[in-house]
Amino acid sequence: MKSILFVCLGNICRSPIADGCAKKYVLENGLDIKIDSAGTGSWHVGEAPCANSIKVAKKYGVNISNLRARQVTKSDFDNFDLIIALDESNYRDLERLGAKNLVKLGIYGHNGADVPDPYFFKEYDGFVKVFKMIDECVSNLFAEIK
């Protein structure tokens, strides 16, 4: 495994958290794996992750403040060994676009469950729950690919 792309809807909440958790894991374990994130939509291209995502990630020692949202491209499907969707809707959108090596993050510890979009919760506690789910799944993912 040389590269992983995490994909959610707007690339400002869930996929940046997954990106940050994965990069931290890669750094701490001396792995040579390229990590990135993107969104299926273009609404937030160029924006930083939302304030609550940055805040909760920082609370758990993950810095995502330097990330900027981008939209997934078809070339990503050739450039990444594994494409990880954060929910079923993202999964279907990526499948329609032709993504290969596509899985849902929830298969790594949550029986394939969708990672809920905290953008619509607005309250900080929702972001904490989402962070913990993502962090657990990312940890389990790396345990499998080591």
Confirm whether 70 is a catalytic residue.
Answer: no
Q: Which of 36, 76, 117, 135 is catalytic?
A: 117
Domain-wise residue ranges, the chain = 3-145
Confirm whether 117 is a catalytic residue.
Answer: yes
How far is residue 81's CA from residue 90's CA, in Å, rounded to a whole number?
Answer: 17
Please state, as a whole number, how many other Cβ atoms lie within 10 Å of the Cβ of residue 124.
13
Q: Which two tokens stand for residue 99?
A: 């993504």
Instruction: Name the region of 38 (left: φ>0; alpha: ψ -120 to 50; beta: rest).
Output: beta
Confirm whether 13 is a catalytic residue.
Answer: no
Please tell me whether the overall predicted TM-score, pTM, comes out greater than 0.85 for this model: yes
Q: Residue-wise pLDDT tens for the chain (146 aa)? A: 899 999 999 999 999 999 999 999 999 999 999 999 999 999 999 999 999 999 999 999 999 999 999 999 999 999 999 999 999 999 999 999 999 899 999 999 999 999 999 887 768 889 999 999 999 999 999 999 87
How far is residue 53's CA from residue 44's CA, in Å, rounded to a whole number?
Answer: 14
Q: Which of 14, 19, 36, 135 is catalytic?
A: 14
- Host H or E run for residue 16: helix 14-28
Q: How far is CA 105 from CA 30, 45, 51, 56, 140, in A?
A: 22, 22, 23, 19, 10
Q: CATH fold of 3-145, please?
A: Rossmann fold (3.40.50)
